[in-house]
Amino acid sequence: METLYYYLPALEGVRDFMELGGQVLVLIAILTLVMWALIFERIFFFRARYPGMVRKALGIWEGRPERDSWHAHRVREELISVVGQSLDQNLALLKTCVALCPLMGLLGTVTGMISVFEVMALHGSGNPRSMAAGVSMATVPTMAGMVAALSGLAMSAWLDQKAFRERELLAEHMTMDH
């Protein structure tokens, strides 16, 4: 129970930040969680499942009595393709999440500016405190969307490059000679 009190100020800070950014910030947070779940899934795949897939594909290839015929070339291409599809799984969805983060931030900018204009329409420009709340609702989601996109972009590029390198390595290991 004592550790709960230790985290309480941090949770209050997160709550205050979420209130400062408005409803769009909740959508950005959900999108960021989905994006990072996809990133961790790909990292887990490379560490846990991928080595077994490579061993199986190489075992099938090495078990072939001949590797020079047209049929052997097609088997090699199929093995590389099947492993390659597994390497690329969820990468397009991850890139889509990365692209959506700044767009969600822009949505927050628009909704925040709408609230500023509403305050100006109701109270005029003489109520700077009310206008400040709308301006923070406009800037905080933009910043959050950009930060989320940058973190996801770096990991997405790394995972994409890793998938490319692993596919090339597999193709090199599946030589055509005996």
- Please report, in angstroms and rounded to a whole number, the separation of the first and last CA atoms in the chain: 65
pLDDT in tens, 125-164: 666 776 777 777 788 889 999 999 999 999 999 999 999 9
In a domain, 2, yes or no: no
Residue 119 binned pLDDT confidence (cut-offs 50, 70, 90): confident
Full residue range of the structural domain in which residue 85 is found = 14-173
Position 6 in a domain = no
Is 73 inside a domain boundary? Answer: yes
Residue 109 in any domain: the answer is yes
Does residue 178 fall inside a structural domain? no
Closest CA to 42 of 156, 169, 164, 167: 156
- Is residue 98 within 8 Å of 42, Cβ to Cβ? no
* Stretch 51-65: mean pLDDT: 94
Q: Domain for residue 80, yes or no?
A: yes
Measure the CA–CA gap between 134 and 143, rounded to whole angstroms: 15
- Please indicate, yes or no, if residue 167 is contained in any of the structural domains: yes
From residue 44, alpha-carbon distances to 68, 70, 87, 173 in Å are 35, 36, 12, 23
C-alpha angle 71-73-77 in degrees, rounded to nearest 5: 115
More confident residue, 14 or 12: 12
- At residue 12, the pLDDT reads 77
- Is 158 a domain residue? yes
Question: Residue 1: what pLDDT?
Answer: 56
Query: Is 175 a residue whose pLDDT tops 80?
Result: no
Tens-place pLDDT, residues 61-76: 999 888 889 999 999 9
pLDDT tens by residue, 73-114? 999 999 999 999 999 999 999 999 999 999 999 998 888 888
Q: What is the pTM of this model?
A: 0.83
Is pLDDT above 80 for 60? yes
How many domains in the chain? Answer: 1
